[in-house]
Amino acid sequence: MILPELRSAVPAGRVLEITTTTGCIVGCSYCPQDKFADRQRKISHSKHLSLEDFKRCLARVPASVAIGFSGYSEPWLNPHCTEMVEHAFAAGHGIRIFTTLVGMNLQDLQRLQALRLEVFMVHVFDDGTYMNSRLVGDKYRNLIRQFVGAEIPSIQFVVLGEAHPDVVDIIPAETLIHGRPVSSRGGSVDPKIVQPRQPVVGALTCVDGRQYRNVLLPNGDVTLCSMDFERRHLLGNLLRDEYAELFDGPAFREIVDRMNGADGFLLCRMCEFADANDRT
């Protein structure tokens, strides 16, 4: 979840976000993870994106496209995630990481420190308001401590709400960015946590051009963006299609037509990143 105060810290440009696994034990209440997992399991039995498939998909993606390890679940729940990062870095891609650190260990930290990372955002556990505190134990505290002292120039720490009491003494207060859940993920989040917006009518613009920040799923499918937890707009499959073909096909053309005002379902209409072109 990108907060307004963090958006300026994230460079512009095309991105392919990697959802390395279906299902997520972190279970943030403002993440519609279950909706993603339900839909994805009906399509594919691949729980993890395999390293081999990741490499096959990445070979179709130009190096100018940054690779984001975030997507619809905690990336390090896939045991090959660090190797995927190293492979993408070696292939010349910019690397952006958004993680709770769940699934990581100290070896992962040492390997990541050796790379130049455009963005490294650590999502810190909250006080239990939105996240499940059972994952906050000695191992997590030690890992957070190591990351606070790590030589990763781009590292940032963010918490939605208040930080868990067991970590407040570890993260220097001035380096911890506070936010709150702000995105309904196109209306997929429980409305008791984030109220959906009024739908945008007519032509609209995605304020960050996120129609070019797409999401690779464990079976090679690519969805529109990080709001599309329910697989509403499927652009293609990188185990089959070239990267450029994702934007030449009927699915993407339909999205563009609808962003320009054509009739038909468009997730953007319910998304907080959409601005109406005609605000009069």
Query: Could you tell me which of 97, 49, 33 has the C-alpha nearest to residue 238?
Result: 49
For the bound state, the minimum distance from the C-beta of residue 211 to ligand SF4, rounded and expressed in Å, comes to 4
Q: What are phi and psi of 173, to 5 degrees?
A: -55, -35
Paired with 234 in beta bridges are 223
Query: Could you tell me which of 151, 171, 158 has the C-alpha nearest to residue 123?
Result: 158
Residue among 17 and 74 whose Cβ is closer to ligand SF4: 17
Query: Could you tell me which of 93, 131, 116 has the C-alpha nearest to residue 17?
Result: 93
**CA–CA dist 221, 206 (Å, integer):** 22
Residues 128-147 that bind ligand SF4 (CB under 6 A): none
Residue among 176 and 224 whose Cβ is closer to ligand SF4: 224
According to CB under 6 A, which one of 18, 26, 61, 274 is a site residue for ligand SF4? Answer: 274
Q: Does 186 bind ligand SF4 (CB under 6 A)?
A: yes
Residue among 67 and 271 whose Cβ is closer to ligand SF4: 271
Contact between 22 and 41 (Cβ < 8 Å): yes
Q: Does 224 bind ligand SF4 (CB under 6 A)?
A: yes
Q: Does 104 bind ligand SF4 (CB under 6 A)?
A: no
For the bound state, the minimum distance from the C-beta of residue 200 to ligand SF4, rounded and expressed in Å, comes to 8
According to CB under 6 A, which one of 155, 225, 235, 246 is a site residue for ligand SF4? Answer: 225
Q: Does 227 bind ligand SF4 (CB under 6 A)?
A: yes
Q: Does 206 bind ligand SF4 (CB under 6 A)?
A: yes
Residue 24: strand, helix, or coil: coil
Q: Which two tokens stand for residue 239?
A: 């185990």
Contact between 22 and 215 (Cβ < 8 Å): no
Residue among 53 and 208 whose Cβ is closer to ligand SF4: 208
Single out the segment in contact with ligand SF4 by CB under 6 A; choices: 66-74, 142-150, 159-167, 205-213. Answer: 205-213
Tokens 């650190």 locate to 101
Residue among 210 and 231 whose Cβ is closer to ligand SF4: 210
Single out the segment in contact with ligand SF4 by CB under 6 A; choices: 47-55, 90-98, 173-181, 269-277. Answer: 269-277
Q: Which two tokens stand for residue 100?
A: 């709770």
Q: Does 273 bind ligand SF4 (CB under 6 A)?
A: yes
Q: Does 210 bind ligand SF4 (CB under 6 A)?
A: yes
**CA–CA dist 193, 88 (Å, integer):** 35
- Amino acid present at 133: S
Q: What is the DSSP string of 222-233?
A: EES-TT-TT--S
Binding site for ligand SF4 (CB under 6 A): 186, 206, 210-211, 224-225, 227, 267-268, 271, 273-274
